[in-house]
Amino acid sequence: MIELDPRMRFVAVIDNKGKIREAIMKSGKTSLKSQKEEEHFCRQVAQRRQMRREFDVSLGKVRYVHVEREKVTQMVVYTPRNIIYFTMEPEMPIEEKLMLVTKIKTMASAL
């Protein structure tokens, strides 16, 4: 997944309890968070998934989560058993970001 676009920074597969099953940082990129912060953030991603499920009946299931920050774009895609969290450079056009979401959702459907 990390090789889908040169502007991708980080990809993690997280279980539903927030434990990182696998993670990779793009070669040449530096993490914006410490490992401890990354682990804490991933636990929070799993907690937010549980909170969002409360609205699945009334609003429908979440397709993906998109957060724009000054230094990074964060995306989250849910699969039945895992959560795919990935980051990319913020200056990418939105259309290209959405194409990456679609590709990652397709790849992640097998996980």
CATH of the domain at 70: 3.30.450.30
Q: What integer pLDDT is reported at residue 64 of this predicted model?
A: 94
Backbone angles phi, psi at 89, to 5 degrees: -65, 140
Q: Answer yes or no: pTM beyond 0.75.
A: yes
Which residues sit opposite 15 in a β-bridge?
82
111: exposed, middle or buried (Cβ count in 10 Å: 0-12, 13-18, 19+):
middle
Q: What integer pLDDT is reported at residue 27 of this predicted model?
A: 83
Number of domains, the chain? 1
* Cα–Cα distance, 14 to 70 (Å, whole number): 24
Query: Which domain covers residue 6, as residue numbers?
Result: 2-108
Q: What is the block-wise mean pLDDT of the chain (111 residues), using blocks of 10 residues?
A: 92 94 85 79 91 95 94 93 94 93 88 68
